[in-house]
């Protein structure tokens, strides 16, 4: 599991690489995240490498690769989801390309654009794209796409309580939603940050 800062640095490297075809320098990462020194960046890079999120070539500048596996996968982009008030489910069919290490090793995946700030404490912000693994159940406390009232979708942490289901935002300024029934459409497996 990555910390919020580690996720943000990893996402920044990926977006930079997608735009320019090579990874950012340690100095560019340091400036982007207002870190004290390049050695702090090096520490983050080492942690990301140890956790298997990146690979680095020794003594070569800008030689960071995302993930152990080479390559990317295309996943269907199915529109937008509310991380706030539920919105009507609308499916648009496009595709988006993501690094292989951002999808689970098995199962079907899809991507959704996030609107709203109800999940900011989970590192999911307005404008981000979440990668969802299709499944119809989740463990208590997992972040999922839930269909409520037949046609509204929302992104929340799901908790099964005695005779209701709590849809919990990850933002202390927002109240949970309580429903009797939901249809789980999938679980969040990764987040693509928009800068």
Of 118, 157, 187, 190, which one is the catalytic site residue? 118
Beta carbons of 5 and 48 less than 8 angstroms apart = no
Closest CA to 182 of 157, 191, 49, 51: 157
Q: Is residue 156 annotated as a catalytic residue, yes or no?
A: yes
118 is catalytic: yes
Contacts 24+ apart (CB under 8 A), 92-99: 96/129, 97/72, 97/73, 98/72, 98/73, 98/131, 98/190, 98/192, 99/14, 99/66, 99/67, 99/71, 99/72, 99/73
Residue tagged active-site, from 156, 157, 187, 190: 156
Rounded-to-integer distance, Cα 44 and Cα 118, Å:
27
Residues annotated catalytic, as ranges: 118, 156
């Amino acid at each position: 599991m990555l910390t919020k800062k580690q996720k943000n640095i990893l996402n920044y490297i990926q977006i930079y690489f997608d735009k320019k075809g090579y990874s950012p320098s340690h100095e560019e990462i340091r400036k982007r995240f207002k870190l004290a020194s390049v050695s702090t960046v090096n520490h983050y890079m080492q942690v990301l490498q140890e956790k298997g999120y990146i690979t680095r070539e020794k003594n070569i500048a800008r030689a960071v690769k995302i993930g152990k596996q080479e390559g990317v996968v295309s996943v269907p982009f199915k529109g937008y989801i509310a991380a706030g008030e539920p919105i009507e489910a609308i499916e648009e069919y496009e595709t988006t390309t993501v690094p292989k290490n951002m999808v689970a090793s098995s199962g079907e995946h899809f991507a959704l654009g996030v609107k709203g700030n109800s999940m900011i404490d989970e590192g999911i912000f307005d404008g981000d794209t979440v990668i969802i693994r299709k499944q119809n159940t989740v463990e208590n406390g997992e972040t999922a796409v839930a269909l409520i009232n037949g046609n509204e979708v929302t992104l929340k942490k799901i908790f099964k309580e005695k005779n209701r289901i709590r849809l919990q935002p990850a933002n202390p300024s927002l109240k949970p939603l309580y429903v009797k029934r939901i249809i789980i459409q999938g679980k969040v497996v990764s987040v693509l940050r928009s800068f």
